[in-house]
Amino acid sequence: MALTTLKEMAATRRAKFGTVLIELASPGIGHILKAAGAQFVFLDMEHSGFGFDTVKQLLRYMEAAELPAFVRVPSRHYHHIARALDMGAEGIMTPMAGTAEEARRIAAHAKYPPLGNRGVALGIAHDRYAPGAPVTKMRAANRHVAVFLLIETRQGLENVEEIAATDGIDGLWIGHFDLSTSLGIPGRFDHPDFLAAVDRVARACARHKKSFGCLVLDVEGGIAAYHQGFDMICYSADVWLLRETLSRGIGDLKAALAGRRRR
């Protein structure tokens, strides 16, 4: 069965593959990613220059391509979480989750009453501007919205069991650079302490039946991540893919034509 929503993806340990948008916001980008085989897209607001207007446009492009999208919002605050969802994100990801109390608060911000405290605005982007009974729409949104948290601090790692057990959280992601930095080993992803941290989060996700995601920069890294227990795998990001493909192509052309004269 095809997985068509983020919620469905988070509910299975089957491998799912997507990519990150951090730079490109062309109207055709959703169709390009879908044609390339992406199953989901991660829109990054934390480390990009994307504002909410740009993200709202990108979400419409993803809808047109029928490509599920979640937004990494720039903070754990209500106004970032609720605003991204109101614009039509299928899910949100928040940075630097540290405690189970924070996890409960984030889940509540993403859910309508009685499950949470998300403010109600209907007939706008998130429900495709359509009319309908408020209670029906609110219940549907509570079933549909996916919530992911980034484990990228020592505090989050220490509390990962309780965070993973939190109702309303669909998955955890590893923030590689921040987690390694918090552990005092920045960028040393083969260090025993980092590998132990990944294993600790993987075991918590498995115990509590939560999805486990990460970013990888190459195919070998993606294969290794799958064997470490990751099931949602983001393959690189737009800016790196463009740079590396262009660099490789131009480099190969230069090498092939070096020293040759035009006839």
The CATH number linked to 216 is 3.20.20.60
- For residue 262, being part of any structural domain is answered with no
What's the pLDDT score for residue 262? Answer: 72
User: Any catalytic annotation for residue 109?
Assistant: no
What is the count of structural domains for the chain? 1
Q: CA-CA distances (angstroms) from residue 190 to 150, 183, 194, 217?
A: 20, 13, 7, 15
What's the pLDDT score for residue 1? Answer: 46
Q: CA-CA distances (angstroms) from residue 91 to 10, 79, 180, 181, 246?
A: 11, 15, 26, 27, 32
- For residue 1, being part of any structural domain is answered with no
What's the pLDDT score for residue 259? Answer: 77
Note the pLDDT tens digit of each residue in 104-159: 999 999 999 999 999 999 999 999 999 999 999 999 999 999 999 999 999 999 99
Check 31, 47, 77, 227 and give the catalytic one: 47
- For residue 186, being part of any structural domain is answered with yes
Q: What is the mean pLDDT of each run of 10 residues along the chain (263 residues)?
A: 83 96 96 97 95 97 97 96 97 96 98 97 95 96 97 98 98 97 96 97 97 97 96 97 97 91 72
What's the pLDDT score for residue 2? Answer: 60
CB 75 within 8 A of CB 101: no
- For residue 155, being part of any structural domain is answered with yes
What is the Cα gyration radius of the chain? 20
